[in-house]
A and B are shown apart, each in its own frame.
Chain A
């Protein structure tokens, strides 16, 4: 009986409530005002009509021209746009006008190629660095300098060297997914509990067997944590890379819609990027669980 309202709606109810409130605010903030002709002379109204600011509706009254809006579009307009876009998700209308489903597919393909290549290189490099103290000390300054460089900063150089936007986009994602995994893998390999290595030594394991049965599994939680961070930063990099390179994809959509001055399209594209990112991150999280184990 005395439950608080928070307990009564539950966390998901609260989510819906926040969403509803947000949409309501959005709608009221972007709702076009009614045109008020009072206080305006006939000449002024004619001029406004001539400019296309106002039109006559069916009953002959002046209203604001719905096709000439300034300011942000409301949720209803974005929803309308989304319905149109999703309706033709897999159609190809021209070389640069592909449906949203296809664009998302291109982005995921590009992202996965760059992320996987980057992760493989990063894990190998991380193991190498983590296993050898001198190498760790020697390479650490380079890693520290390279790490804070935004992956997008590499883009001009890559575009110049590979001369191909498709590969450049993949390389940007590659660069974005490199450093967190390198750093975490090196740390994880370096911080393996001494007694695991002692057991490996007692059992006279060969170098490779020790690597695959002791070192890699022991470092797995740290490696996965690094991959997770890399995953996020690669996801963040793929969208601006597509924008700047003009490669078809979810990020590209944002930019084309801006060039079309279709702000509802821009908002729709942003939402698509969010949903795609969340879905990929969720899938990765589930995948990572397979390789995780609880420490003693």
Chain B
């Protein structure tokens, strides 16, 4: 049985614009189904607006699916919890706490019965694993973007969740730092064998990190197009990836898909224009029955 199952999930939002008639809605994505095995690293790629971050929020429990369900280890996800930790694009570190305390509050919450020194040691272990040694006493405002996300990763890993949810975790980090943090993430993942669901629009990042890559068509009303397997053996490094023919093949395949996906959108626009409908507006549908 699958560890994490996304079962025919559809997300519908009410239209938020002043001209919208009452009850008008638009579909972000519909009927998305896939499974993630224990210890697997699955990445979802798609253009902005395909609803990949929305899906991640559903798995985190911040929001409820409009239809379908999310099942983690046989139990349906209904609210946020310590078994699913999110690494945010915005880092979401508490600016009034030091790097160490940001990690520590997570550990303390996960293990309320532990004595204070055990909590401290545990937090320190993950601080060290993320190469944050020496930055523990600093507040996030005094850390670079890369260091901040290291704290974010340490906080998430230290809780030892069943599933790690990475929401474009490296989007706000400069390209050079990004590479080294990605490699640290691989190392951490190899060590802990966590189940990971990541959302990104960086194709190289997806290939470097993932076991499988899920491709979403363009939104609104997006759907899961296909899931490609990354067969490049691990451990992978950036350098060795560049020369791998499998990498080139995968990269071209995904990029072709993304470009074609964009074309499909244009095509749909042309159609709607022919039907006399405004093209820039998202496609609207009555609420699903």
Contacts and interface: CB of A to CB of B under 8 A. Distances in A.
B80 interface: yes
B86 A202 contact: yes
B147 to A, nearest CB: 12
A195 B92 contact: yes
Contact of A293 (B88, B95, B105, B148): B95
B93 interface: yes
Contacts of B96: 217-218, 220, 293
Contact of A202 (B80, B91, B140, B141): B80
A196 B93 CA distance: 7
Given A293-B96, A296-B148, A203 B141 contact: no
B181 interface: no
Interface string A210-234: 0001100110100000000000000
Nearest to A202: B80
B52 interface: no
Contact of A199 (B92, B139, B141): B92
Contact of A296 (B93, B110, B159): B93
A198 interface: yes
Contact of B141 (A196, A218, A293): A293
B30 interface: no
Chain B CB count within 10 A is highest, among A193, A203, A213, for A203
A204 B112 CA distance: 11
Contacts of A198: 60, 62, 80, 86, 88, 92
A102 B110 CA distance: 55
A203 B94 contact: no
A20 B94 CA distance: 50
B109 interface: yes
B80 A201 contact: yes
B85 interface: yes
A11 B93 CA distance: 41
B90 interface: yes
Interface in A233-255: none
A214 B96 CA distance: 9
Contacts of B84: 202
A36 B92 CA distance: 81
B106 to A, nearest CB: 6
B81 interface: yes
Contacts of A196: 92, 94
Contacts of B238: none
Given A195-B90, A196-B92, A294-B139, A201 B62 contact: yes
A218 B81 contact: no
A294 B88 CA distance: 20
B15 interface: no
Contacts of B94: 196, 199, 213-214, 217-218
Nearest to B106: A203
B82 interface: yes
A186 to B, nearest CB: 20
A67 interface: no
B81 to A, nearest CB: 6
A201 B92 contact: no
Contacts of B159: 203
A294 to B, nearest CB: 4
A42 interface: no
A296 B86 contact: no
A214 to B, nearest CB: 7
A105 B90 CA distance: 50
Given A213-B105, A296-B141, A202 B81 contact: yes
A196 B102 CA distance: 11
B79 interface: yes
A205 B109 contact: yes
Contacts of B97: 217
A295 interface: yes
Given A202-B81, A293-B95, A295-B95, 11 more contacts: A193-B90, A193-B92, A196-B92, A196-B94, A198-B92, A201-B62, A202-B60, A213-B105, A293-B96, A293-B141, A294-B139
- 7 nearest interchain CB pairs? A195-B92, A201-B80, A203-B109, A294-B141, A217-B96, A293-B96, A202-B80
Interface of B: 60-62, 79-82, 84-86, 88, 90-97, 105-106, 109-110, 139-141, 148, 159
5 contacts: A195-B90, A205-B109, A213-B94, A220-B96, A294-B141
